[in-house]
Amino acid sequence: MSDDELARFLVEESTVTCATLGANGRPHLMPLWYVPERHDMIAWTFAKSQKARNLERDPHATLQVEAGEEYGELRGAMLECDVELERDVEAVARLGLELMHRYSDGASPADLEAGVRAQAPKRVGMRFTPTRIVSWDHRKLGDSY
């Protein structure tokens, strides 16, 4: 995918699979909602979650966003990322509001803010900054595969 195609794809899709490394060296895979900021992605998680503990130990993750059902429709992106954790409650709340605005359908801003502010003290924000991106779009292959 071109940079513009990748940016559009990340906006159009809604779930990313986040892979971190557990203390035993095995990948820990979990789905996340995210907000794309060009190629960076922001998300939040519970501070006591396994992924947060893994990222505290090793601030690297691989993200994958994918779409399509049939082989000729498959498309996606894998982003190898450095990860910055955010613990400041106000910054986490701002990030949470961005997420909820993206994923809420018709909820009132006051309700969103109240819910996010109640959750923010229990969460950490995550900024995923890609160091390597691999993308694919089988729709461009035509019948040549």
Q: Tell me which DSSP letter residue 24 carries.
A: T
Q: Assign 104 to helix, strand or coil.
A: coil
Residue with tokens 């995918």: 1
φ, ψ (nearest 5 deg) of residue 16 = -115, 145
What does 37-75 look like in DSSP terms, one character per residue?
Answer: ETTEEEEEEETTSHHHHHHHH--EEEEEEEE-SSGGG-E
Give the pLDDT confidence score for residue 93 in this predicted structure.
96
With respect to residue 37, please indicate whether it lies within any of the assigned structural domains.
yes
* Distance separating alpha carbons of residues 87 and 55, to the nearest angstrom: 13
Give the pLDDT confidence score for residue 145 in this predicted structure.
65
- CATH, residue 87: 2.30.110.10
Band (143; pLDDT cuts 50, 70, 90): confident
Structural domain total, the chain? 1
- Give the domain range for residue 87: 3-140
With respect to residue 145, please indicate whether it lies within any of the assigned structural domains.
no
Mean pLDDT of the chain: 94
With respect to residue 57, please indicate whether it lies within any of the assigned structural domains.
yes
pTM confidence score: 0.92
